[in-house]
Structure 1
Amino acid sequence: MTFKPFEPGNHAVGGKTVRVMVIALIAIVLITGSIFVVSPSEMAGERWMGGTVVTATPLGTGVHFKVPFLETVDRLQTSRSVYTLGGLDVYTNDNQKVSIDISVIYQIPSRSVLNLLYKVGRAGNVDIDSTLLPVVRDRALEAFAKYNTLTISDQRGQITAQMKKSISNGLETLFGVDVIDVQLTGIHYSPGFEHSIEEAVKAKADAVQAQNAVAQKRFEGEQKTVTAAAEAQAAVETAKGRADSLLLEADAQAKAALIVGNAIKEHPDYVRYYGLQRWNGSLPQVTGGSMPMVDLRMPGENK
């Protein structure tokens, strides 16, 4: 075994190097621990030794400094956030239980950051959702208590607007939180109530169908009445036309007879002339006896 002789100079150099490395490491830790970055979606506050708040106004986006190991940084998201509450049981004014799902879109303004970080609940961003929950639940219960279960679906928009107004006022007054929107994303009825709704819908549909059938029968009856009236009017018009035609024909025949009679009175030979005008040239057919004589002379000829 060979031992390397002791060299004091080399040992001193090695010790100095270690000290430099330790100092550099401590410096890096101190520098790193004294710098922190706040992102655009959040703001921050500082506490001295985990207790006293040393930030007068919230720290915004950018690089900030703190005392390493002695100051604690608390961050809070200030961009728009969505708080979802599912399966919340509420009661209507007819004492029916309904389960609903709610989404609340909210934003924390800078004026409310330190209040939420250090004056509401525990220090820091550890229980913001649980802080908002009681207000959201209470305002939702209050809104639904004003409506009847049978009208919830038809008045969904009105209920949502009421909840938004109540939740917005509550969160703003208590915590300074700005509510952007509130959505009623789900309404769940009990199985028994859903069955009763189906029965009610079916009964309503049957009633509408019956009304439609009555209306159809009424329409058909009115159509028949109109048709019968039209046919009766047409028959009256036809009869009137026929009567007018017969009157005209009778009047014409009477006038013709009058003319013929006057002619006969004034000219007795007109009778033979009238007969000759209508003779077809055939002699009368007779049985037994002598053949009748037919005067073929024109009126005015000598016998």
Structure 2
Amino acid sequence: MKNIPAIASVIIVILLLLVLNPFATIQAGHRGVLTTFGKPSDEVYSEGIHFVWPIAQRLHKVSVAIQKGEGDGDAASKDLQTVHTKIAINYHVRPDAVVSVFRDLGNEPGERIIIPSVQEAVKAVTARFTAEELISRRSQVRDEIIVALKERMARHGLVVDEFSIVNFNFSRTFNEAIEAKTTADQLKMKAERDLQRIEVEAKQKVSRARAEAEALALQRQQVTPELLRLRETENQAKAIEKWDGRLPTTTGGAIPFLNINSNGSNK
């Protein structure tokens, strides 16, 4: 019975610990900011278990893991076309800037900084390009937006990990104009290719005609009287080779073939 007060004391202490909970845990991907009666300290608490004074102190968690944000908005291009831009961004809080993010941004960097900064950067960069350039120079537009974003976000301890332009949307009139221009460019390219093909074919025909003319001219230069007599002799020789030794005869009132001797008398 003498141990009952001691046991009761231990139970009371355990209950107090459970109720007051003087320990706080910081999970992976987070940092902690300790406040004493609401005032944040300058120390950044790392992952793990930390002791806090019940009632007086509280350990607040700030995510330093990569977070994803998406947004869209309207802007005007250099040629005064309305551009609806949809973007996606990955960012994280710099671990050493956790206290300022908690104190200055209320631990809500997405709402306080990311969305306004993205909208401002997109509008500023979009105004430097025409609507057509926003399409043809999309990677350059993205890079310039990233530079503008980094400058704005770095002042608040935020880091841009990835940024991408999901889509550009323009007015229906502009889209129809772009489609018409694309069709015209395609037709122009086809016409140029057809013209090149026709020119090549014409040059080929001229080359063949020139070659044939040069061949004929060369043949004419090679035909001489001696060559003609040689060809005639060759033809006669071929005719003699084919002759079977019979003399030609005629009928139907033609003059018969006469054999005349050397002194001119008939036998």
Aligned length: 244
Identity among equivalent pairs (%)? 16
Counterpart mapping for 1:90-101 below 5 A: 90-101=75-86
The one-character-per-residue Cα deviations of 1:179-230 (angstroms, maximum 9, x if unpaired) are 2222112222222211111111111111112212222222222122112111
CA contact (8 A) 1:107 1:178 kept: yes
The one-character-per-residue Cα deviations of 1:43-69 (angstroms, maximum 9, x if unpaired) are 01121223x22x221101110111222
Give the AA of the match of 1:58. V
User: Which structure shows the higher strand fraction?
Assistant: 2
Q: Which residue of 2 aligns with 1:43?
A: 31
- Alpha carbons of structure 1 residues 166 and 293: separation in structure 2 relative to 1, 3 Å: same
Structure with larger RCO (C-alpha < 8 A, sep 6+): 2
Q: Which residue of 2 aligns with 1:28?
A: 18
Residue from 131, 136, 140 that aligns with 1:154:
136
Residue from 55, 78, 81 that aligns with 1:69:
55
Q: Which residue of 1 aligns with 2:242?
A: none
Distance in 1 (CA, whole Å) between partners of 2:19 and 2:24 is 13
- Alpha carbons of structure 1 residues 95 and 294: separation in structure 2 relative to 1, 3 Å: same
Counterpart of 1:95 in 2: which secondary structure? coil
Are residues 1:84 and 2:70 paired? yes
User: When the two structures are superposed, what TM-score results if normalisation uses the length of structure 2?
Assistant: 0.79
Give the AA of the match of 2:105. G
Are residues 1:121 and 2:102 paired? no
Shift of 1:96: 0.8
Distance in 2 (CA, whole Å) between partners of 1:281 and 1:24 is 147
Are residues 1:193 and 2:174 paired? yes
CA contact (8 A) 2:69 2:110 kept: no
Counterpart of 1:73 in 2: which secondary structure? strand
Shift of 1:22: 5.7
- Alpha carbons of structure 1 residues 58 and 291: separation in structure 2 relative to 1, 3 Å: closer
Give the AA of the match of 1:224. K
Give the AA of the match of 1:121. L
Distance in 1 (CA, whole Å) between partners of 2:12 and 2:231 is 145
Distance in 2 (CA, whole Å) between partners of 1:186 and 1:291 is 111
Q: Which residue of 1 aligns with 2:196?
A: 215
Distance in 2 (CA, whole Å) between partners of 1:79 and 1:228 is 77
CA contact (8 A) 1:40 1:61 kept: yes
Residue from 204, 208, 218 that aligns with 2:185:
204
Q: CA RMSD in A?
A: 3.3
Q: Which residue of 2 aligns with 1:58?
A: 44
Q: Which residue of 1 aligns with 2:87?
A: 102
- Alpha carbons of structure 1 residues 27 and 36: separation in structure 2 relative to 1, 3 Å: closer
CA contact (8 A) 1:115 1:175 kept: yes
- Alpha carbons of structure 1 residues 18 and 251: separation in structure 2 relative to 1, 3 Å: closer
- Alpha carbons of structure 1 residues 129 and 247: separation in structure 2 relative to 1, 3 Å: farther
Distance in 1 (CA, whole Å) between partners of 2:186 and 2:109 is 50
Q: Which residue of 2 aligns with 1:275?
A: none
- Alpha carbons of structure 1 residues 80 and 146: separation in structure 2 relative to 1, 3 Å: same
CA contact (8 A) 2:31 2:46 kept: yes
CA contact (8 A) 1:83 1:129 kept: no
Distance in 1 (CA, whole Å) between partners of 2:129 and 2:214 is 59
- Alpha carbons of structure 1 residues 126 and 106: separation in structure 2 relative to 1, 3 Å: closer
CA contact (8 A) 1:116 1:128 kept: no
Q: Which runs of 5+ in 2 are unaligned?
A: 233-244, 248-253
Q: Which runs of 5+ in 1 are unaligned?
A: 1-12, 254-279, 297-303
Residue from 128, 141, 153 that aligns with 2:123:
141
Counterpart of 1:222 in 2: which secondary structure? helix
Give the AA of the match of 1:27. L
Shift of 1:231: 1.4
Distance in 2 (CA, whole Å) between partners of 1:65 and 1:56 is 16
Counterpart of 1:104 in 2: which secondary structure? strand
